[in-house]
Amino acid sequence: MAGDTTKTLSNDVLWGGGRSPFSISYGKMMMWFFLVSDALTFSGLLTAYGFVRHSTTEAWPIGEEVFRALPFTNGSFPLIYVALMTAILIFSSVTMVLAVEAGHRMDKGGVIKWLFATVLGGAFFVGSQAWEWSHFIHGGGGYITTTQGDKYWVHNDEHDTHDPTAHDSFHLVKAVEGHYLKGVEGAEHLDRNASLAIWNDRVSYVDGANMRRNEYGPPQYANFFFFITGFHGFHVFSGVIINLIVLIMVVRGVFHRRGHYEMVEKAGLYWHFVDLVWVFVFTFFYLL
Amino acid sequence: MLVRDDVIEYSLDAHHSEEEGRKIRRKIWLVTLLLSVVTTVEVTLGAYWKDWFDHSAWNTIKWTYVMLTLVKATYIVMSFMHLGDERRNIRAIILVPYALFILYLVFIAIWESQYIHWLWETYL
């Protein structure tokens, strides 16, 4: 990039006073310091997740088995929805960096165009995450355990949390050892009458997810899912708000009068950081 | 335009011409392409690796994921966040303390978790 950062300056000038040894404005540097502290927080959360996952003796759910639903469809699409969310976030990061570039040329129209696209992308991401949370919480029918200690998956064409047996399609599927999710090939499907007999003999019925228990795996799994994606989602949400405020200021010509668009750059740093965190959440939560 | 003469306005250093802008935009799109390709590889591998590889391949795949993630992170930080364009001093004070702390944290957490795992397996 053009400018002071590529210029060769003697060390006397850099550290001897008179100018910043970092050749960076106060605001940008403080944004970087904040991002380092925020990065430490997220790293701490993900490391805690890794610690619990490694230390637990229970089977841990697998991303491509838990996250396989798409809106408006019934089929199995492992990881496709979360890949879509990732794509949206990466592309909103691209539009942000293009807005910053336009700002460096004092191109007000360009900044408005790309910043608007960024806000739109961010809003889409938050919406997608709301859908995914809803799907995660409601679950796919859940399972029951019996007095014999057996585990059966509840199958139903229509998902009904109050009384799953009310529908004709209700039946149970014996859980396959070592598999955390239903729909395993070769699993034994019981007929309706046998299913009802076992249903009445149930000890517990776990459907969907909450902070205490979930149908996917150990309770900590859902707890970490809610906390980490929730904390990230809150960052995305606040990022959208910040970008929106900056966009309004750009439209009103505040930065053009100021002579530079550094505010877009600072908001951009925060926005890229949100994308950066998602790259890690995506890997450690959904892929590994 | 407001210019104060008692402070150095570093913000103006980042300004560039139309022609430089074209070059920068080209680089942005190249990085975008790279990030998209890496993500596509990751998702495809995650969804279908069991059909393609033996169960024993998981360890290799796991480390491939970690490596690809670090590649993506490097490009986001260095290119999108322009840390690669900043002076070496600022790059160092951002990356070095973070790296030192987190490498240690990850090491100690993984190490201790294996012990806790062994403990629960043995005594629970």
- Write the pLDDT tens digit of every residue in A144-183: 888 888 888 888 777 666 777 877 788 888 887 666 565 5
Whether CATH 1.20.120.80 fits A24-53+60-138+218-287: yes
Higher pLDDT, B117 or A13: B117
Q: Pick from A81, A15, A45: which is nearest to A229 by CA?
A: A45
User: What are B1-15's pLDDT values in tens digits?
Assistant: 555 666 677 888 888
Q: Over the stretch A59-108, which tens digit does the pLDDT of each residue have?
A: 888 887 788 888 877 777 888 899 999 999 999 999 999 999 999 999 99
Mean pLDDT of B64-92: 93
| pLDDT-derived band at A197, boundaries 50, 70, 90 | confident
Is there a contact between B10 and A24 if contact means CB atoms under 8 Å apart? yes
Please name the member of B16, B89, B116 whose beta carbon is closest to the beta carbon of A55: B116
In the predicted model, what is the mean pLDDT of residues A23-30?
89
Q: Which of B21, B39, B94 sits opposite A36 (nearest CB)?
A: B94
Can you read off the two tokens belonging to residue B118?
Answer: 């062994």
Strands (E), chain A: 143-146, 151-155, 171-174, 202-206
Q: Which residue has the higher pLDDT, A196 or A276?
A: A276
Out of B24, B69, B93, name the one closest to residue A280 (CB): B69
Adjacency order of strands within the sheet including A171-174: A171-174, A151-155, A143-146, A202-206
Token readout for B60 is 């290799």
Coil, helix or strand at residue B124? coil
Chain A hits for B111, Cβ within 8 Å: none
List CB contacts (< 8 A) between B62 and chain A: 288
Q: Return the domain boundaries, chain A.
A: 24-53+60-138+218-287, 143-206
Collect all residues of chain B within an 8 Å Cβ-Cβ radius of residue A282.
Answer: 42, 69
Nearest to A269 by CA among B75, B93, B80, B29: B80
pLDDT at A17 over 80: no
The tens digit of pLDDT for each residue in A202-233 reads: 888 888 898 998 888 899 999 999 999 999 99
Residue B23 reports pLDDT greater than 90: yes
- At A76 the pLDDT is 76
**Tokens found for residue A234:** 């809150």
Query: What confidence tier does A279 reach under pLDDT thresholds 50, 70, 90?
Result: very high
From A258, which residue of chain B is nearest by alpha-carbon distance? B1
B110 contacts A101? CB cut-off 8 A? no
A174 Ramachandran zone, left/alpha/beta (phi>0; psi -120 to 50): beta
ipTM, two decimals? 0.91
pLDDT computed for residue A1 by the predictor: 47
Query: Which amino acid is located at A284 in the chain?
Result: F
Q: Sort out which chain A residues have CB atoms less than 8 A from B43's CB and list them.
A: 79-80, 83, 86
